[in-house]
Amino acid sequence: MNKLLILLGLFFISWKLCAADTSSVPNVRKVAMPGTVALTFDDGPNPIYTRQILAILKKYDIKATFFMVGANAKLYPDVVKEIYEQGHVIASHSMTHPMLTRLNNAQLEYEVATPSKIIDGIIGKKPLCLRYPFGASNEHVREVIRENGMMPVPMGFNSFDYERPGTQKIIDWVLKNAYSQQVILMHDGYDKREQTVAALPAIIEGIQKKGLGFSTICG
């Protein structure tokens, strides 16, 4: 009986070790720290809007997380470097922003693996998370992201800034929904982002007035 228990114990321990071995996924924060919100910017970098956002973040001494598209990182490596050198977190948002759930295996591997190589080539560090475009994922997509050494990350609270509803509407919507540990999704790339840039100072000040601070995720 004792031998059986010992064998069972050994089996359990080796099973746990195996499970740990197969997982090279970094153990990083996916939500903001208690008492803070995480500002996240998707679809960049962009030489105009990303730099304007960086200047605002610098003024308020706030760190944010940038989920960038690999193709844009390749186009604007200097902006990638600036983001990193100013202490923000750089994460992945795929190579060309497709719906990852609609790709074949070769396409999916390309979309997941390539941005990491590009970002590593620019800042000497691979991203630890990939936020799947359009919030679209399934278990296979998330597994491929994990196999590539990243944690899959969902959208975060949608500011709808990409709909460009007017600066004040973006401010009101975000502030109404800003609470401890909230991850807020905004956009610095791909399209016109004047409203996002214009809304950002009031969003930061409004969050501070709520007594909340700021933290990054995926760092």
Active site amino acids? 42, 187
188 near Zn ion, judged by CB under 5 A: no
Contact with Zn ion (CB under 5 A) among 42, 111, 161, 188? 42
CA distance 108 to 144: 8
Reading the block at residue 164, the tokens are: 């460009």
Are residues 63 and 204 in contact, defined by beta-carbon separation less than 8 angstroms? no
Are residues 48 and 197 in contact, defined by beta-carbon separation less than 8 angstroms? no
Applying CB under 5 A, the span of 3-11, 13-21, 38-46, 204-212 interacting with Zn ion comes to 38-46
* E strand map for the chain: 36-42, 65-68, 89-92, 129-131, 151-153, 157-158, 183-187, 213-214
Which residue, 94 or 215, has its beta carbon nearer to Zn ion? 94
Residue with nearest beta carbon to Zn ion: 42
Give me the least distance between CB of 43 and Zn ion, in Å please.
Answer: 4
Which residue, 133 or 156, has its beta carbon nearer to Zn ion? 133
Give me the least distance between CB of 132 and Zn ion, in Å please.
Answer: 9
Reading the block at residue 82, the tokens are: 């600036």
Other Cβ atoms closer than 10 A to 135: 13
43 near Zn ion, judged by CB under 5 A: yes
Which residue, 33 or 190, has its beta carbon nearer to Zn ion? 190
Give me the least distance between CB of 218 and Zn ion, in Å please.
Answer: 15
Q: What is the gyration radius of the CA atoms in the chain, in angstroms?
A: 19
Give me the least distance between CB of 135 and Zn ion, in Å please.
Answer: 9
Which residue, 25 or 136, has its beta carbon nearer to Zn ion? 136
Binding mask 114-143 for Zn ion (x = CB under 5 A): -------------------x----------
Contacts of 62 (CB under 8 A, 6+ apart): 39, 204, 214
Which residue, 99 or 178, has its beta carbon nearer to Zn ion? 99
Q: From its phi and psi, is residue 116 left (phi > 0), alpha (psi between -120 and 50) or beta? A: alpha
Rule CB under 5 A: which residues touch Zn ion? 42-43, 133
